[in-house]
Amino acid sequence: MSATLRIAVVDYGMGNRRSVQKALEHVGAQATITREHEELGLADGLVLPGVGAFPQAMANLEALGLRELILARAAAGTPVLGICLGMQLLFERSIELEPTDGLGLIPGEVTWLDAGGRRIPHIGWNEVRFGRASRLTEGLPLHGAAFYHVHSLAVRPSDPRDVIATTEYGERFATIVERDAVLGVQFHPEKSSLIGLRMLANFGAICGGRAREPAGAAARR
């Protein structure tokens, strides 16, 4: 991965920002934790991390003027990766605590995980089963791999084609999603050892491919 590749970790006051930054740096990216609009506007890719409650996360994004910035960058084709709560924010709405609108980059909603009587939140390593090919899972075992999860809710994509991989915990739920250049993972790749680092390197490669496009390429697509 090129050391000049710039990936911005969106700082909206929630989540494991520093550990995501360190993991990205480990795989060769120039990663910055920032809420500065200019830096976010120049980055080759954005990572939206998050730990906490959906309504507060959206309130923070709105208060910092980051909601519209993320939407604009995604519309321009900039790769965006949501991690854990950050993945849930990519969807249209969540019922957590109170009904709250999300970014709406992927059709669908977020509801409570049906754990079938198991403990909530779902915490720990769990097998992720890959359903179809994705740039995010390139080079990973074809059958899937174990990743570290911490969550109580699950995303419900409206279009099954947006689902890349699933995990089972009581029910089987979507744990990797992809729509155009918008990607999300319910687990924490930065806490998932070498397999997680490979996934972050793949995201860097996606961002690098975008960065090498000639000017105006996105507009011509």
| Residue numbers annotated as active site | 84, 188, 190
> Hunting for tokens 């084709």 — which residue is that?
77
66-75 helix and 54-63 helix, angle to the nearest 10 degrees:
90
Cβ atoms 72, 182 nearer than 8 A: no
Tell me how far apart the alpha carbons of residues 221 and 219 are, in angstroms, rounded to a whole number.
Answer: 6
Strands (E), the chain: 6-10, 30-34, 45-48, 80-83, 91-94, 100-101, 106-112, 122-130, 144-151, 153-157, 163-169, 171-179, 182-185
The three-state (H, E, C) secondary structure of 166-207, written as one string: EEEECEEEEEEEEECCEEEECCCHHHCHHHHHHHHHHHHHHH
